[in-house]
């Protein structure tokens, strides 16, 4: 299996990846095809696909923030069960992030990730791929060491229509597992930076940020 980075919308593997995204994610979670041009050319956004026999069988997008020394996994897609795609992507991604942190003179602090709450989004089929089922994905994240940040989470729709997307938890993988809380200011600054590309922030998202500003830290709980 090949770990191939996509940096151009003309990359032949990008069309396959985008089709895969449309199969497994709800519409409000998928950026339109042409809107990917700038993100793919952004050196800070790392989009990789798992390629087997010239076919995209998985994909992941993530980014590393040097000033925060944290990463964000935007998404992970397993396009076919039984190939070990999830393990392959997780290992390659972590190795890449550790390299980026080392080049920044630091040891990676941790990785953010959003995960659906299966009790709220059971209606999503996720392309019929069992590995993408929210119950399975939460258990996988738990095994990897991710924990749920203890606050009601919403995020702005990627359609930039001012709607709030709910039914998810914001999670964090601490490289140092001894900590049980995360500084709320780190969460706030990260979320503001991450969603700065969306100009139309929903009311519920703004209220969530205000509530976080009242807290010094947020507990990390089991998923």
Average pLDDT in the 145-158 region?
93
Q: 112 falls in which pLDDT band (50, 70, 90)?
A: very high
CATH number at residue 18: 3.40.630.30
Instruction: Quick: pLDDT tens for 12-54.
Output: 999 999 999 888 877 777 888 888 999 899 989 999 999 999 9
Edge-to-edge strands, sheet with 45-52: 2-5, 45-52, 55-65, 70-78, 110-116, 168-174, 146-149, 217-221, 181-183
Six-digit token string for 86: 């999830």
The tens digit of pLDDT for each residue in 157-213 reads 888 899 998 989 999 999 877 789 999 999 999 999 999 988 999 999 999 999 999
Average pLDDT over residues 96-101: 97
**Counted domains in the chain:** 1
Q: Which domain holds residue 154?
A: 2-221
């Amino acid at each position: 299996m090949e770990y191939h980075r996509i940096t151009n919308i003309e990359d032949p593997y990008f069309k396959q990846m985008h089709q895969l995204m449309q199969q497994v994610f709800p519409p409000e979670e998928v950026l339109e095809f042409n809107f990917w041009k700038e993100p793919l050319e952004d050196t800070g956004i790392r989009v990789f696909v798992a390629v087997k026999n010239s076919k995209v069988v998985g994909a992941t997008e993530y980014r590393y923030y040097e000033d925060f020394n944290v990463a964000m996994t935007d998404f992970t897609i397993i396009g076919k069960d039984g190939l070990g795609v999830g393990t392959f992507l997780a290992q390659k991604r972590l190795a890449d992030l550790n390299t980026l942190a080392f080049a920044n003179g630091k040891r990676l602090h941790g990785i953010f990730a959003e995960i659906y709450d299966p009790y709220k989004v059971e209606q999503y089929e996720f392309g019929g791929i069992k590995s993408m089922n929210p119950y399975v994905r939460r258990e996988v994240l738990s095994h990897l060491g991710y924990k749920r940040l203890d606050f009601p989470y919403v995020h702005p729709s990627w359609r930039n229509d001012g709607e709030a997307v709910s039914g998810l938890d914001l999670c964090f993988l601490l490289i140092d597992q001894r900590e049980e809380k995360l500084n709320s200011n780190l969460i706030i600054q990260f979320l503001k930076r991450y969603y700065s590309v969306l100009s139309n922030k929903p009311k519920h998202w703004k209220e969530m940020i205000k509530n976080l500003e009242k807290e010094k830290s947020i507990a990390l709980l089991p998923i």
